[in-house]
Amino acid sequence: MPQSLTIVYYPKTINDRINLPLSKSLSNRLLMIYALMSWPMDRLKLSQADDTVLLKSLLSTIAKNEVDDFEDDPLQLNCKNAGTTLRFLSPYLSILTKEYMLTGSSRMQERPIGPLVDALRKLGADIRYVNKDGFPPIIIKPANIAYTDIVMDASKSSQFASAILLLLPLLSDEAKLRFIGKISSRPYIEMTLDLMTYFGIKYSFDKLELILKGKYLLPKKEFIVEADWSSASYWYEVLSMTRGGELFIQNLKIKSLQGDRILAEIYASLGVQTYQEKDGIRIKAEGEVSYNQNIDFKNYPDIALSVIASCAALGVMGKFSGLESLNLKESRRMDMLCSELGKLDFDLRDNGFGEYVLINPCRIENRSYDFSNIVIQTAGDHRMAMAFAPFAIIGKSICISDANSVNKSYPMFWDELLKIAKVY
């Protein structure tokens, strides 16, 4: 696939079946439970996203190293640009018998890991920073890990909390985790907990205090990984821009473990309705658009780009909050979103009070946009690439850089987009 792709949309009646990847969030958590318990993973049906493939590969490398010493000491594990992989591996490596170094891309080395390292050190982990305190790379040595009450900051990433939670049942039959400050993306922590209950763990989660009870048990019935709700956001975006047609999205449930199911509620006010059917959901471009939106993405940051892009295309005046973590992602995501929307003559700006405002002076019913000569820079960020592709619908065509970045979460995205547009 070329580094950049051009998407050309020819108006048509949309009525297609869309395939989504399996949830990489659930897949990665499932992998970690199996790794922690040394259960065989070969029969698990998992996401084929790059992040999950990488995590499974690294877990295999670690298992081999624990049995047969590799030449490298410490063994270097490159997590590339997969933040979840690096964070989830940190607690796991802390209970093993060999020395490891966790590293990643240059961008990964700018993403904080301090709160997770602090929490692991309280449990007795032997971790040191290689370069800058609070950031990868880190070296993890064998240590005596034992449970103690943990207080941690999960304001920058819910993955810090999830990484610790997955480990705790190995350390104690009953464990407590207390949070300070705001919790970022709480539904992702709840997803972790709900998955853990499938494997025998009970929990209570009251505001800033979380209590776990029990030990992991291998269930008789295999856990089935759902399709990925965050990946569905791009198809909601497509229908919001076409203002007509419908799509059937396979293997998706409105009643899901995934917090990003909130898409159905958000897009109901953007002219896209959701209906549950036997084998998936059907979304239809119908209903009124609310042209004033005030949305807090604190619990759902992964769908922010798609929703804000939809609002821009629809001529919505919007105010958006809870986006602080996005500049710590694969790119400085909000900075990129503002700059690239600006290329398309949409005005999204940081108001300096922890919010972003979308300013649309008027609603353009008969579109006169032409994005044919515009190249959207994505900085290798998969969500940037997929969120901007639908703008071809209102702008004749559009060119997306770093097209291969979609492999991180949705490898078949461009193939699926061929159902409604030309991609070359």
Residues 108-141: pLDDT tens digits? 999 999 999 999 999 999 999 999 999 999 999 9
383 and 231 Cβ atoms separated by less than 8 Å: no
Residue 69 pLDDT level (bands cut at 50, 70, 90): confident
pLDDT the model gives residue 366: 47
pLDDT at position 362, please? 55
pTM of the model: 0.92
Residue 417 phi/psi, 5° resolution?
-65, -25
pLDDT over threshold 60, residue 364: no
Q: Is the peptide bond before 137 cis (omega within 30 degrees of 0)?
A: yes
- In percent, the amount of the chain with pLDDT more than 90 equals 86
What is the rounded average pLDDT of the residues 281-303? 95
Q: What local confidence, expressed as pLDDT, does residue 40 receive?
A: 94
418 C-beta neighbours (distance < 10 Å), count: 12
Contact between 189 and 161 under an 8 Å Cβ cutoff? The reply is yes
Q: What is the mean pLDDT of residues 264-290?
A: 97
> What pLDDT, on a 0 to 100 scale, did the predictor assign at position 46?
97
By CB neighbour count within 10 A (0-12 exposed, 13-18 middle, 19+ buried), where does 223 fall?
middle
- Rounded to an integer, the average pLDDT of 296-307 is 95
Distance in angstroms between the alpha carbons of the first and the last residue of the chain? 9
Q: Is the pLDDT of residue 27 over 80?
A: yes
Report d(CA 148, CA 365) in Å as an integer: 60
Strands in 142-279 per DSSP E: 150-153, 174-180, 202-206, 209-213, 246-250, 270-277
Mean pLDDT of the chain: 94
Give the 3-state DSSP-derived string for 312-346, with helices as H, strands as E and coil as C: HHHCCEEEEECCHHHHHCCCCHHHHHHHHHHHCCC
pLDDT at 361: 58
Contacts 24+ apart (CB under 8 A), 264-270: 266/295, 266/303, 266/307, 267/236, 267/240, 267/307, 267/310, 269/293, 270/236, 270/240, 270/307, 270/310, 270/311, 270/314, 270/316
Q: What is the mean pLDDT of residues 280-302?
A: 95
Average the pLDDT over 173-185 and give the result: 90
**Calpha distance 214→193 (Å, rounded):** 12
Pairing of the two strands 209-213 and 317-321 = unpaired
Handedness of CA 265, 46, 116, 76 (dihedral sign): negative
Mean pLDDT, rounded, for 233-237: 98
DSSP 75-137: EEEE-TT-HHHHHHHHHHHHTSSS-EEEE--TTGGGS--HHHHHHHHHTT-EEEESSSTTSS-
What is residue 184's predicted lDDT score, i.e. its pLDDT? 83
**Residue-wise pLDDT tens digits, 391-413:** 999 999 999 999 999 999 999 99
DSSP state of 74: S
Nearest to 398 by CA among 11, 7, 10: 7
Length of the chain: 424
Q: Is the pLDDT of residue 363 over 80?
A: no
94 φ, ψ (degrees, to nearest 5): -65, -20
Mean pLDDT computed over 165-183: 94
Q: What is the pLDDT of residue 277?
A: 97
For 320-334, write each residue's pLDDT tens digit: 999 988 877 777 899
Residue 374 has pLDDT above 80, yes or no: yes
- pLDDT band for position 367 (cuts 50, 70, 90): low
For residue 353, give the nearest of 382, 324, 387 by alpha carbon. 324
Residue 68 confidence class, pLDDT cut points 50, 70, 90: confident
CB 85 within 8 A of CB 62: no
Q: Which residues of 356-365 are buried (b: 16+ CB within 10 A; e: fewer)?
A: bebebeeeee
Residue 8 confidence (pLDDT) above 90? yes
- Count each helix (H run) and each strand (E run) in the chain, helices first: 13, 20
All domains of the chain, ordered by start, with CATH?
5-22+226-423 (3.65.10.10), 24-213 (3.65.10.10)
Catalytic residues, by residue number, are 302
Over residues 55-67, mean pLDDT: 96
CB-based contact 266:295 (threshold 8 Å): yes
Please say whether the beta carbons of 239 and 283 come within 8 A. Answer: yes
Alpha carbon 302 to its chain centroid, in Å, reads: 5
pLDDT band of 354, cuts 50, 70, 90: confident
